[in-house]
């Protein structure tokens, strides 16, 4: 019942903002008040366990990802960035003071958060990141660049992953994460224009030109790239659920169209060729649902292995593409 209530809250949100997001997609604009609205409805928690956050079961967190992505992929990405990446990074690795200052404002959507790992020359091989952090007295100084960072030019805070460059220090070469308010001098976030997809959220190119931060800006729980990987691993199930949402929207649109479009004296859905394609789509969609449900059950039991989450992500993203292709062909 609790999981269904969370799902229904997400469904009501999608119905509430649907027309606005259609316009945002057409205009390539980012309606920040709708991002705050997600926080007001307490939909950012993404299964994160923390005393200051409302706990969602893996199933509830997945249903939120699915439902919001069914409504709009840009909004699904907002949840993945604000909750899955930024909020989770702070909850897992932040100091008590950092969490007291920023955790609840992030969860409520009052402050936008971003996760800056990807660089212009390092995407999938982000372990090779070139952004560096060096000590200068009681301060840290960051230099480098990040790219395709959701919320990176939103006026909020950014969790910047950088490699320590201090040949005389024991942590030289270690990867650490820094909490950077976006108004900090030297931080420049520029919205990337001309996107073809996810047009209702802005991604940014970030330049870090000798950004000076106090010593306590570093998240004390981060010590290596494995910590970034821990956050990324936790998002795999969310991607599988999000793909299910996209595929559901495609199937529903194609089915509705086939029921209404009349050709040769009868609706398209009356033709066996169309029925076969709809059946193929439903077949794949049902398999995606079963992957997600089984994954949630395993995670609830504490038995979900990384390879299983990766397989669900692999299967569902590819199945969603096939469903979208068939839906587009039918329409």
pLDDT at 126 over 70: no
Angle between helices 272-300 and 236-260 (to 10 degrees): 160
pLDDT tens-digit map of 268-325: 999 999 999 999 999 999 999 999 999 999 999 999 999 999 999 999 999 999 999 9
Average pLDDT, the chain: 95
Query: pTM value?
Result: 0.92
C-alpha distances in Å from residue 278, one per residue of 4, 90, 272: 27, 43, 10
pLDDT tens-digit map of 319-328: 999 999 999 9
Q: What is the mean predicted confidence (pLDDT) over 92-107?
A: 97
pLDDT at 261 over 90: yes
Residue 219 — φ and ψ, nearest 5°? -80, 115
């Amino acid at each position: 019942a609790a999981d269904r209530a969370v799902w229904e809250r997400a469904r009501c949100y999608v119905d509430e903002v649907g027309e606005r997001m259609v316009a945002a997609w057409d205009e390539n604009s980012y309606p920040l008040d709708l991002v705050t609205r997600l926080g007001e409805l307490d939909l950012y928690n993404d299964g994160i366990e923390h005393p200051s956050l409302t706990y969602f079961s893996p199933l509830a967190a997945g249903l939120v990802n699915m439902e919001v992505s069914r409504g709009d992929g840009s909004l699904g990405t907002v949840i993945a960035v604000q909750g899955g990446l930024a909020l989770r990074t702070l909850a897992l690795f932040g100091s008590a003071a950092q969490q007291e200052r920023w955790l609840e404002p992030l969860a409520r959507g009052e402050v936008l958060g971003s996760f800056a790992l990807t660089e212009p020359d390092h995407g999938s091989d982000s372990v090779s990141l070139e952004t560096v952090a060096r000590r200068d007295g009681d301060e840290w100084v960051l230099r480098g660049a990040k790219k395709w960072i959701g919320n990176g030019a939103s006026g909020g805070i950014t969790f910047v992953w950088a490699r320590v460059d201090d040949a005389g220090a024991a942590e030289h070469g270690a990867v650490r994460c820094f909490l950077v308010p976006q108004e900090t001098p030297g931080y420049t976030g520029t919205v990337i224009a001309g996107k073809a997809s996810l047009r209702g959220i802005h991604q940014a190119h970030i330049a870090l030109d000798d950004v000076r931060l106090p010593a306590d800006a570093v998240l004390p729980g981060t010590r290596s790239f494995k910590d970034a990987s821990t956050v990324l691993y936790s998002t795999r199930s969310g991607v599988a659920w999000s793909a299910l949402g996209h595929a559901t929207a495609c199937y529903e649109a194609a089915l509705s169209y086939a029921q209404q479009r009349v050709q040769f004296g009868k609706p398209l859905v009356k033709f066996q060729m169309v029925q076969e394609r709809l059946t193929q789509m439903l077949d794949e969609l049902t398999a995606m649902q079963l992957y997600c449900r089984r994954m949630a059950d395993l995670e609830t039991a504490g038995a979900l292995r990384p390879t299983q989450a990766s397989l669900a992500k692999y299967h569902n993203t590819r199945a969603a593409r096939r469903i979208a292709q068939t839906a587009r062909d039918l329409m």
